[in-house]
Amino acid sequence: MNSMIYILVQILVIIMAAPLVNGIIKKIKALTQKRKGAPVFQMYFDIYKLLQKNSVVSEVSSWIFKVTPYIVFTTAIAAALLVPVSTKLITQQIPGDFIMLVSILALGRFFMMAAALDTAGTFGGMGSSREAMISSLIEPSILVSLFTVGLISQSTSLPQIMNAVQNTGVPLLHPVYIMVFLALLIVIIAETSRIPVDDPSTHLELTMVHEAMILEYSGRHLALMEYGAAIKQLTFITLLVNILIPSDQLIGFTGIGALALSLVIYLLKVVLLSVIIAIIEVNTVKFRLFSIPNLAALSFILAFLGILQYFILGGSHV
Amino acid sequence: MSDFLDTLSVLILLSSFVLMANKRIKSYIETFRIQSLLIALVAGIMGVDSLLTEGRFDILVVCLLIIILKVIYIPALLHRTYVNVKYKVEKDFILNIPILIIVCCGLVVFSYFTLATVDGLNESIFNIQFVNSVSVIWIGLFFMISRKKAIGQIIGFLVIENGLYITAMLSTQGMPFIVDLGISIDLLTAVMIMGLMVFRINEKFDSIDTDQLNNLKG
């Protein structure tokens, strides 16, 4: 029963809120450019419209092309189920840890790249080769930074990590956690195709990465792909805010009221982080493709410095 | 307070990594300014602490000196030098940036293990701040040899100096005032002379690439 509630809340919150994050980021970008911008809920309308349309599938494509949108969408939901939106929700262990989270997302990404190659379009091949480069550069820094927080809390399970972090006071003033925070911020920007790495709002052939891979999709399939990307983005944001900006320790009482309050605080934190991401996106320019390894190296170094500080501290002070 | 200093020392180390990842001379100067600001912040925290506990205010004066000299004056001087140099092709590092950063990473591990084996450092001194600030010295040294242009090398020198300063400050809880003053004035003279040297190199060779100094010129 308890796990049913967990799954229900998790799916409701993450799936309902995922397109909102995109809406907020787009709105802030529009406001900084002195435009009015699309409404915050625009992505819901888009997905609703796309879901009612048939999709056009190329004659030369194989089954991979047709099955990929469903795989991308389900892997995104499976990943979202592994990252609890509130620690008030968990009373027992959930199966799966952050290694599984990273590998589930890698599965979805693998199929996305295969599908882009499948139609043999020139942009698809280019997009998937770029995506392979970026993801192989970024993945070490996700794992190293999550292992750092895992070492501190002596567990690889995300609910346990979140519970352990709540005892450390303000994590962002802590030498280990601040490194992990900055590393994961770069990871989020790279994983969700945000501006220094990829531009989500253009279809310029020189720069697009994620857009190049989903270029051949239309109708229902496109809706699933975009929704999957939005859920993946919210999953990463949840990971960051719940590990590094913990707030559930402030709620003294338990029960349904505590759960509701902590969900409200969680949504506020998500909005805060979306604003931060939007500000970063407004203030930076897109890097050249061959400058991305520098950013990835910096992210890896941040994670590595975090783990090194943990060992210098001796593990006992933390 | 010690936690703040821990975090600040990590941020200072991070700023030297960011410096290593930078590609343009303007961003070298800006990163150096941020690093100096962090050091001034360390001095400010220690100064307020010593004012409250012992009634000394000399560390606060040092903090003010750092802000005037390293945050405002020296970056402005370097920026003026950079603007006046005609030769502006910027790519000046010897290896590519990921390799440079991974070498720096090795330097941090190296300083951690070397400091752990030094006798006479007791547990209270051998801590996170000490390792981080000694690593800043190493990275400054490596930055100096990894850049070909004269302004990059000046920044490397300044980062070494920042590293020494922060090491001294964190391990002694504030040096005597006269020592701080002497170091600052030395630094100022050195940077001014180096700025002049950059002009001279630029005039003679039409470039500030120090590799050109190896060529014979009749």
pLDDT band at B136 (very low <50, low <70, confident <90, very high): very high
pLDDT digits (tens, 9 = 90+) for A232-275: 999 999 999 999 998 888 887 777 888 889 999 999 999 999 99
Q: Nearest-CA residue of chain A relative to B13?
A: A305
Residue A244 lies in a domain: yes
Q: What CA–CA distance (Å, rounded) separates B127 from B171? A: 10
Given A174, A308, A313, which is nearest B109 (Cβ)? A308
Task: Look up residue A8 and give its two tokens.
Answer: 């229900």
Average pLDDT, whole number, for chain A?
A: 88
Per-residue model confidence (pLDDT) at position A318: 45
Residue A318 lies in a domain: no
pLDDT band at B125 (very low <50, low <70, confident <90, very high): low
Q: What CA–CA distance (Å, rounded) separates A291 from A113? A: 22
Alpha carbon A92 to chain centroid, angstroms: 25
Buried b (16+ CB within 10 A) or exposed e, A30-39: eeeeeeebee
Cβ of A298 within 8 Å of Cβ of B10? The answer is no
Given B13, B14, B21, which is nearest A297 (Cβ)? B21
Q: What is the mean pLDDT of residues A97-116?
A: 93
* Choice between A315 and A201, residue whose per-residue pLDDT is larger: A201
Highest averaged pLDDT of the listed ranges A6-20, A87-101, B87-101: A6-20
SS (H, E, C) chain B: CHHHHHHHHHHHHHHHHHHHHCCCHHHHHHHHHHHHHHHHHHHHHHHHHHHHHCCCCHHHHHHHHHHHHHHHHHHHHHHHHHHHCCCCCCCCECCCHHHHHHHHHHHHHHHHHHHHHCCCCCCCCCCHHHHHHHHHHHHHHHHHHHECEHHHHHHHHHHHHHHHHHHHHHHHCCCCHHHHHHHHHHHHHHHHHHHHHHHHHHHHHCCCEHHHHHCCCC
CA of A39 vs chain B CAs: smallest distance (Å): 37
Cβ of A178 within 8 Å of Cβ of B11? The answer is yes
Q: Nearest-CA residue of chain B relative to A304?
A: B105
Q: Nearest-CA residue of chain B relative to A178?
A: B7
ipTM of the complex: 0.84
Q: Which residue has the tokens 């982080």?
A: A273
Per-residue model confidence (pLDDT) at position B90: 64
CA of B11 vs chain A CAs: smallest distance (Å): 8
State phi, psi for A315 to the nearest 5 degrees.
75, -10
Structural contact between residues A209 and A202, judged by C-beta atoms closer than 8 angstroms: no
Count up the domains in chain A and report the number. 1
Q: What CA–CA distance (Å, rounded) separates A85 from A88? A: 9
Cα distances (angstroms) measured from residue A275 to each of A18, A87, A185, A268, A284: 15, 24, 13, 11, 14
For an interface test with B, the pick among A172, A178, A301 (most B C-beta atoms closer than 10 Å) comes out as A301
Cβ of B14 within 8 Å of Cβ of A294? The answer is no
Q: What is the mean pLDDT of residues B210-218?
A: 69
pLDDT digits (tens, 9 = 90+) for A12-71: 898 889 999 999 999 999 999 899 989 999 999 999 999 999 989 988 889 999 999 999
pLDDT above 70: residue B50:
yes
Beta bridge partners of B93: B147
Q: What is the mean pLDDT of residues A309-313?
A: 78
Per-residue model confidence (pLDDT) at position A205: 76
pLDDT digits (tens, 9 = 90+) for A137-168: 999 999 999 999 998 888 888 888 888 888 87
Q: What is the mean pLDDT of residues B50-74?
A: 89
Structural contact between residues A36 and A30, judged by C-beta atoms closer than 8 angstroms: yes
pLDDT digits (tens, 9 = 90+) for A184-200: 999 999 988 888 888 87
pLDDT above 50: residue A316:
no
Q: Nearest-CA residue of chain A relative to B19?
A: A298
Residue A147 lies in a domain: yes
Task: Look up residue A19 and give its two tokens.
Answer: 């397109």
CA of B135 vs chain A CAs: smallest distance (Å): 12
Domain that holds residue A72: 2-313
pLDDT band at B104 (very low <50, low <70, confident <90, very high): very high
pLDDT above 80: residue B170:
yes
